[in-house]
């Protein structure tokens, strides 16, 4: 049974920890979109790993990891990550397969990213300026360079010359020498060769042999290029449809969808966040939750749990169950709010609007729930949670429309509740984490 694990909010939901926790039940972990703007933080026995491009499954010996065609690859970022893993004692070896159809991020994409944000001024998106958006623009514009293009050196030279020339018209200062870009690419291609392959075929063969695949999303549904808060979104499909196009697998190959949602809401960068808290409470969530970007260190905007957004993500992705993370961050709060709708004038919206001009004047409709005084941090059995925390979760299940199969109560793998009475028991029957 193959499962997709993806973000049900604005990214940074703690997917890294959940994927890492579930990986022992799978033979392959596959990423389908995004680039090295993702930042999965995983703690294993107190040791911190931040993975940007390579699926966190790589931390588990014997697990194969896939970077699908839907991902944009910066070769330098890839090599840095491989070298860093080696330094920490983890050999990538032949466990990594990068799709030969994946598009590359080239030096001019980074320059264009910075330039485009500067041009937007007040209307900036808040990108990580790593060239991801411009690389996707070139992909859609049919002038991108793919991993497999690094083989035909003559055609590559022509392509690079043309592309760099076009970029030099836009980037007036800091002009690029196409030869330097080309030489670098040749060297990158040489090093990358051992890891490149036909991902769609490899996954089909793995499935035929009965190997389970965990499909890993980056960012979150509300940052999806089509279904997110456009234009304040990422340049790819973070929602489940991206898994099929970004890996070359059919929809029926995804047997279950596990959404990941924080017990509150955060977002990094610009764009709407209806439940954002500006005062002391926002600061309190940021500090307790250590809400600073894993990739950029930027402080994340924080707010209460937004059930409108999560319910929307449940629908768009067909989420069967949620993994609720960071419950412990709410420890000690006297009361906790849940947003169940948005008030606009005399109307209450219960669906996330497409038009951001509608989101702007929205006032979240809150219901208030009592907090708990006994810490939830590190709790591994559902019945050991304070009764108020259990009630809070039960209410989140009602307003989100799906059960919370997993509850995360800390950064470590062991600080997790897997509920045996949930769908997780079917997906992971041999689950080793202590559970209800």
Other beta carbons less than 10 A from residue 148's beta carbon:
14
Nearest to 416 by CA among 57, 14, 7: 14
Rg (CA), the chain: 22
Give φ, ψ of 246 to 5 degrees. Answer: -85, -5
Other beta carbons less than 10 A from residue 144's beta carbon:
22
**Distance of alpha carbon 436 from the chain centroid:** 28
Q: Please identify, among the stretches 107-115, 156-164, 307-315, 409-417, the one whose residues bind ligand GDP according to the rule CB under 6 A.
A: 409-417
Residue with tokens 């931390």: 59
Give me the catalytic one of 40, 52, 103, 109.
40
Q: Does 408 bind ligand GDP (CB under 6 A)?
A: yes
Other beta carbons less than 10 A from residue 7's beta carbon:
27
Smallest distance from ligand GDP to CB 250, Å: 26
Q: Please identify, among the stretches 134-142, 189-197, 360-368, 404-412, the one whose residues bind ligand GDP according to the rule CB under 6 A.
A: 404-412
Q: Does 16 bind ligand GDP (CB under 6 A)?
A: yes
* 22-41 footprint of ligand GDP as x/- string (CB under 6 A): ----------------xxxx
Q: Does 9 bind ligand GDP (CB under 6 A)?
A: no
Out of 52, 326, 413, 419, the only residue in the binding site for ligand GDP (CB under 6 A) is: 326
Smallest distance from ligand GDP to CB 277, Å: 18
Smallest distance from ligand GDP to CB 10, Å: 10
- Sign for the CA dihedral angle at 247, 250, 252, 257 comes to positive
Subset of residues 109 to 128 that bind ligand GDP, contact rule: CB under 6 A: none
Out of 43, 146, 198, 378, the only residue in the binding site for ligand GDP (CB under 6 A) is: 43
Nearest to 224 by CA among 191, 186, 199, 259: 259
CB nearer ligand GDP, residue 17 or residue 167: 17
Pairing mode, if any, of strands 305-306 and 321-325?
A: unpaired
Report the alpha-carbon distance of residue 330 to residue 328 in Å, rounded.
Answer: 5
Q: Does 14 bind ligand GDP (CB under 6 A)?
A: yes
Q: Does 17 bind ligand GDP (CB under 6 A)?
A: yes
* 327-346 footprint of ligand GDP as x/- string (CB under 6 A): -xx-----------------
Subset of residues 244 to 303 that bind ligand GDP, contact rule: CB under 6 A: 294
**Torsion angle (degrees, nearest 10) of CA 163, 232, 99, 51:** 110
Q: Does 52 bind ligand GDP (CB under 6 A)?
A: no
Smallest distance from ligand GDP to CB 94, Å: 26
Q: Please identify, among the stretches 97-105, 221-229, 323-331, 382-390, the one whose residues bind ligand GDP according to the rule CB under 6 A.
A: 323-331
State the DSSP code for 422.
S
Catalytic site residue 40?
A: yes
Report the alpha-carbon distance of residue 67 to residue 352 in Å, rounded.
Answer: 31
Q: Does 167 bind ligand GDP (CB under 6 A)?
A: no
Report the alpha-carbon distance of residue 243 to residue 3 in Å, rounded.
Answer: 11
Q: Please identify, among the stretches 120-128, 163-171, 228-236, 322-330, the one whose residues bind ligand GDP according to the rule CB under 6 A.
A: 322-330
Q: Does 388 bind ligand GDP (CB under 6 A)?
A: no
Catalytic site residue 255?
A: no
Q: Does 20 bind ligand GDP (CB under 6 A)?
A: no
Helices (H), 171-306: 178-192, 199-208, 241-247, 280-288
CA distances from 436 to 91, 136, 226 (A): 36, 44, 38
CB nearer ligand GDP, residue 5 or residue 135: 5
CA distances from 205 to 221, 241, 257 (A): 29, 21, 22
- How many residues form the binding site for ligand GDP (CB under 6 A)? 21
Smallest distance from ligand GDP to CB 14, Å: 3
Nearest to 66 by CA among 174, 167, 181, 214: 214
Residues acting as catalytic residues: 12, 40
> Binding residues for ligand GDP, per CB under 6 A?
7, 12-17, 38-41, 43, 294, 325-326, 328-329, 408-411
């Amino acid at each position: 049974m193959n499962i997709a694990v993806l973000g049900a909010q604005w990214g940074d939901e703690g997917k890294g920890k959940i994927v890492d926790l579930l990986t022992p039940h799978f033979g392959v972990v596959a990423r389908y979109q995004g680039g090295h703007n993702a930042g999965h933080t995983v703690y294993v026995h107190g040791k911190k790993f931040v993975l940007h491009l390579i699926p966190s499954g790589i931390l588990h010996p014997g697990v194969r990891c896939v970077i699908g065609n839907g991902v944009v690859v910066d070769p330098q970022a890839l090599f840095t990550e491989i070298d860093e893993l080696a330094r920490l004692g983890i050999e990538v070896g032949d466990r990594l397969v990068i799709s030969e159809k994946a598009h590359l991020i080239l030096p001019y994409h980074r320059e264009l990213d910075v330039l485009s944000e500067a041009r937007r001024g007040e209307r900036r998106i808040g990108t990580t300026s790593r060239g991801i958006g411009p690389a996707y623009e070139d992909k859609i514009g049919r002038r991108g360079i793919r991993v497999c293009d690094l083989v035909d050196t003559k055609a590559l030279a022509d392509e690079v010359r043309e592309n760099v020339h076009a970029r030099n018209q836009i980037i007036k200062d800091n002009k690029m020498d196409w030869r330097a870009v080309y030489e670098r690419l040749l060297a990158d291609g040489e090093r990358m060769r051992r890891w490149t392959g036909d991902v769609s075929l490899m996954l089909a063969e793995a499935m035929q042999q009965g190997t389970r695949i965990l499909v890993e999303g980056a960012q979150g549904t509300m940052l999806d290029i089509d279904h997110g808060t456009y234009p304040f979104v990422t340049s790819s499909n973070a929602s489940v449809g991206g898994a099929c196009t970004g890996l070359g697998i059919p929809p029926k190959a995804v047997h279950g969808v596990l959404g990941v949602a924080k017990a509150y809401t955060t977002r990094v960068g610009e764009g709407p966040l209806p439940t954002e808290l500006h005062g002391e409470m926002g600061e309190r969530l940021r500090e307790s939750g250590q809400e600073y970007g894993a990739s950029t260190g930027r402080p994340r905007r924080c707010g209460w749990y937004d059930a409108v957004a999560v319910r929307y993500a449940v629908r768009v992705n067909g989420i069967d169950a949620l993994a609720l993370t960071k419950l412990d961050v709410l420890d000690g709060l006297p009361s906790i709010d849940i947003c169940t709708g948005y008030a606009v004038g005399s109307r209450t919206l219960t669906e996330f609007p497409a038009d951001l001009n509608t989101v702007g004047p929205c006032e979240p409709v809150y219901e208030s729930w009592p907090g708990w005084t006994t810490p939830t941090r590190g709790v591994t059995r559902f019945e050991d949670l304070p009764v108020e925390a259990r009630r809070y979760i039960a209410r989140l299940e009602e307003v989100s429309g799906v059960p919370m199969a997993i509850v995360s109560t800390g950064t470590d793998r062991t600080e997790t509740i897997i509920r045996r009475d949930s769908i997780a028991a079917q997906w992971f029957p041999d689950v080793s984490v202590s559970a209800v």
